[in-house]
Structure 1
Amino acid sequence: MKQSPTPPTAVTLPASVDNPHYRRIGGEEAVRRLVERFYQLMDELPEARAIRAMHPTDLTSSKEKLFLFLSGWLGGPPLYAERLGPPRLRQKHLPFPIDTAARDAWMACMNRALSELVSDTELRAQLSASFFKTADFLRNQP
């Protein structure tokens, strides 16, 4: 019996079994560095002020959750699902006013972190495109 292909979701990042993005980016240590730099940039970049205000003062929990999520999203261990259950990104972000400006501010932080930490230009472009799809999916305002 032929199964219908599963439609891609906003949080699906294509990865092959032979070369998952998690391994290509450098594994756990590299994902932790990316998360750390992303949140540093959120504190530093003036255009990120509004999205930074949506986060708690202490970013410890936010950093850990993003690390856990990215681990599985990039093709590594599904740490978020194992520890916290299904990500349900859209549902968890609904309380926050995420508009195009917020999406773009989030992307500015992530793209800069990627440009500083990921030397593989093909991987960086793939990740940026996938992050954009996910960030755009989380918009709940124009």
Structure 2
Amino acid sequence: MTEASTRPAFGEGDATLQAVGGMEGLTKLVHNFYRIMAETSDYRPLFEMHPQPIDTSIDKLVLFLHGWMGGERMYAKKYGQIALPRAHAHLQVNDKERLMWLNCMSDAIRDLGYPEELRAYLVSAFSVPAGRIQQVSQATHGQGSE
């Protein structure tokens, strides 16, 4: 068996967390995500939806993703339980914002040189909660999908 065939698949245990480089790699990814969001005009409206300074948003995303990727559930220990759609219900999220978030994360993953199969897996996996956040936002704000 090759090393690749003996590694757990993304989404199993903490395989995804390990694939991004553990806590250190995840922290680097999230910082890169917010840097790209702040510096890229196409993503800047998304950045401006976040409370400033951005440090708490960065911390929350790192801790949430650590558990979401199979690691210790650190977010709940620091911030309490979270339901992503409810936590984002105050925001108006339509197709544009959902795709902006997913594309920005895709760019952040690609920018750090992660393998294409990891980028594809993560963007696909992130699309599920992003879609749910959009559904709740549209139900809350009564907006269309433009």
TM range (shorter): 0.7 to 0.9
Task: Choose which of 127, 136, 141 in structure 2 pairs with 1:132.
Answer: 127
Asked if 1:40 is matched to 2:35, the reply is yes
Aligned to 1:25: 20
Aligned to 1:58: 53
Q: How many residues align?
A: 128
Matched to 1:53, the amino acid is E
Give the TM-score of the pair, scaled to structure 2. 0.81
Give the TM-score of the pair, scaled to structure 1. 0.83
- 1:90-139 CA-partner distances (Å, limit 9, x unpaired): 11100010111011111121000011225222222111101122212111
Q: Give, in whole Å, the separation in 1 of the partners of 2:37 and 2:58.
A: 12
Task: Choose which of 115, 121, 126 in structure 2 pairs with 1:120.
Answer: 115
Aligned to 1:76: 71
Q: Give, in whole Å, the separation in 2 of the partners of 1:132 and 1:121.
A: 16
Q: Which runs of 4+ in 1 moved over 6 A?
A: none
Q: Secondary structure at the match of 2:93?
A: coil
Aligned sequence identity (%): 33
- 1:29-59 CA-partner distances (Å, limit 9, x unpaired): 0000010000001111112122122112210
- For structure 1, the residue ranges without an aligned partner over 5 or more in a row are 1-13
Matched to 2:11, the amino acid is A
Q: 1:69 touches 1:78 (CA, 8 Å); kept in 2?
A: yes
Q: Give, in whole Å, the separation in 1 of the partners of 2:83 and 2:54.
A: 20
Asked if 1:93 is matched to 2:94, the reply is no
Q: How far off its partner does 1:80 sit?
A: 0.5
Matched to 1:126, the amino acid is Y
Q: 1:25 touches 1:118 (CA, 8 Å); kept in 2?
A: no
